[in-house]
Amino acid sequence: MLQLDPGEYVPDEPELAELHRSLHELRDKVYAHTDKDGGRSGSTTSTTPVPGVGTALGYTTEWLPLDRKWLPNAIELFSIQETRFVIEAHEIEATPNFK
């Protein structure tokens, strides 16, 4: 299986490179994984038993939203990365052994 070199796609522009690293850290710690220090939480809840119905169970989740001030740079970063990935995908598909 092909895998991207993690360092290859870090942007050259320092501000975007820092955002890239921050988003990777959030992805690993908050959004994609279940690390205990990740900023996500969940819990179960129950209601007072209702005669003839029983007790209802539910759950709640919490997560850390992205800071809105990141959005303009994030959109720029995503656009740059999309272009880079598309170019590389075409290069991979053009290799003789690609199946």
pLDDT along the chain (99 residues), means of 10: 71 92 76 57 69 73 78 94 91 85
Shared-domain flag, residues 24 and 56: yes
For residue 65, what pLDDT is reported?
Answer: 77
Shared-domain flag, residues 49 and 26: yes
pTM attached to this predicted model: 0.60
Shared-domain flag, residues 60 and 70: no
Shared-domain flag, residues 96 and 83: yes
Q: Which residues contact 45 (CB under 8 A, 6 or more apart)?
A: 57, 58, 59, 60
Establish if 89 belongs to a structural domain.
yes
Shared-domain flag, residues 25 and 42: yes
Residues 57 and 44 sit within 8 Å (Cβ to Cβ): yes
Distance of CA 74 to the CA centre of its chain: 12
Residues 77 and 19 sit within 8 Å (Cβ to Cβ): yes
Residue ranges making up the domain that contains 95: 66-99
Q: What angle do helix axes 14-26 and 71-93 make, rounded to 10 degrees?
A: 90
